[in-house]
Structure 1
């Protein structure tokens, strides 16, 4: 307990101090980053791919993850930015002639001096994290940054493919650079989603216009047929073909019936009938102007 005469308390027992931050072993972290797949945690071996954050993966592990998202426990955390194989780039690595299978990387004995599988083809330096390595986005060839600067050129010395300065991408960048790249990937993903939504809405509108066009075309023959029937019934003289004579006869009959009905309604008076009637007496001296009418001057 202390202060009872039997023991002397120490400062650490009386004063609570802030616990020191536990930092991971930087050497072990470096080996895990440059010698092992970031997803499967197995040693890197050809073919090796790199993601937009600059992390290294075995290609078969990425394929397994895309086929089954539960293939690796922390796959969603590590590879959340990888949705297709287009999100990774296959690297062209130069093999290290000094590497042997007996020198297989293992974090358990990283202090024994590990040998990397890959080297820079210009400087022959191992890709073990001690030097900064980069790859060309256009072709995927990997070099050390120092070696690429020693041979200034606008074409790759391995595949002779042209590249620009912005096509030089760092492998396994610092955590700060990775956060910047992650934010850039999120921005690009949001822009792609907006473009995809706009293109899908445009395609939907196009399909609607096409459907409306097909409906109007399908209605047009019916309308033309109706107009044609109306025109044929209203103008019998334009009929031709098999049913033309029968339609004309029906129309003529209707016209005659109409005239008969009109004439029956408007009967002529006796005076008018007397003008056009013939008298049996041929000695009548009246002219047709006064025939059948009263005239005091008549003889």
Structure 2
């Protein structure tokens, strides 16, 4: 959500940057006219804006666009052809000119701005990178807040559909350049190379530090050069890699998912095998209760896969559990008095009342 009014940065063709206040209902055309209020020799239609190397139409509304506050809009001049070159003979039909200008050719994208946008902005929200930052298992870098909000709101694009939760994110630690403002530029903390796409960078999965490939190559070590934590070669994830590097990372990601599915399948099969025997683990088992698994101890499996319970043998794992009796755990010298504490010593034909055992029905 854009605020009602916010500031954007406008970079003029002479590389000067000016802050401008805009509102959500304004368009880029309104912004251009505000830059040339009294100019007669410069027409607003002769210029257009680009954001991260991509041209923007003049009817773009700030409230519905992806232009974030403090974004840098670059003002570019349109190159138009002039007359008097001897190309017109007067024999051409007017229709050919109409067809020529009916279809507008798209403005060329500046590759340098596009590269900087990929390395200095969030891959999801296109906002400048601000800590905390995370990467996925394919090396794309995001602002963690933007990615989590998209996951919670179920607004994640299909291209990032493999990100299901926090387990698919790796928190990274970027080293900012001294003297730069918040969310501006980052560098390698060892080699000092700028994080701008001209150099290859790796993120270490175990500690999250981001280092340049040059630093890892010159200082050959199996530990992080910043925190000295050990890492393996598979823990290195290339950031914003090319198509071949992304294909390798995608293959590793699929292998990890296959291993997780295999572990879950084995766990389910093991539980089904145990349940198929019909063995019921007693709740009273253990030294705490003094009973070592009454049901489990009474169930025995013969060679033919039958479960024997006492003198009975049952197929298919449907063994009946042995009924608990107090005399089974009675001391060696105990008498019937000990058993009568827990159960009745002899059966009676009389029904007892709920209030007293000494006043059975039929005796009063």
Aligned match of 1:95: 176
Give secondary structure in 2 for the equivalent of 1:135.
strand
1:216 to 299, 309, 319: 319
Query: Which has the higher mean CA deviation after the structures are superposed, 37-46 or 149-158?
Result: 149-158
Give secondary structure in 2 for the equivalent of 1:49.
strand
* Partner deviation per Cα, 1:82-123 (whole Å, 9 max, x = no partner): 11212121112212113124xx6xxxxxxxxxx51x211112
Distance in 2, Cα, partners of 1:120 & 1:134: 10
Distance in 2, Cα, partners of 1:211 & 1:76: 49
1:56 to 141, 154, 171: 141
TM-score, with length taken from structure 1: 0.55
1:26 to 101, 111, 114: 111
Contact kept, 8 Å, 2:202 with 2:238, in 1: the verdict is: yes
In structure 2, the CA distance between the partners of 1:209 and 1:24, relative to structure 1 (3 Å rule), is farther
1:171 to 222, 239, 254: 239
**Is 1:192 equivalent to 2:295 in the alignment?**
no
Give secondary structure in 2 for the equivalent of 1:60.
helix
Contact kept, 8 Å, 1:136 with 1:168, in 2: the verdict is: yes
Distance in 2, Cα, partners of 1:211 & 1:172: 54
Contact kept, 8 Å, 1:39 with 1:78, in 2: the verdict is: no
1:47 to 132, 148, 152: 132
Relative to its length, the structure with more strand (as a share) is 2
1:126 to 176, 183, 194: 194
Equivalenced residue count is 198
Distance in 2, Cα, partners of 1:69 & 1:209: 44
Give the gaps of 5 or more residues in structure 1: 10-19, 105-114, 223-240, 244-299
Contact kept, 8 Å, 2:278 with 2:319, in 1: the verdict is: no
Distance in 1, Cα, partners of 2:233 & 2:248: 19
Instruction: Please provide the CA RMSD for this pair.
Output: 3.5
Distance in 1, Cα, partners of 2:254 & 2:108: 29
Could you say which structure has the larger radius of gyration? 1
In structure 2, the CA distance between the partners of 1:186 and 1:7, relative to structure 1 (3 Å rule), is same
Distance in 2, Cα, partners of 1:145 & 1:161: 17
**Which one scores higher on RCO, CA 8 angstroms, separation ≥ 6?**
1
* Partner deviation per Cα, 1:160-198 (whole Å, 9 max, x = no partner): 112233433211101232233224323432343233233
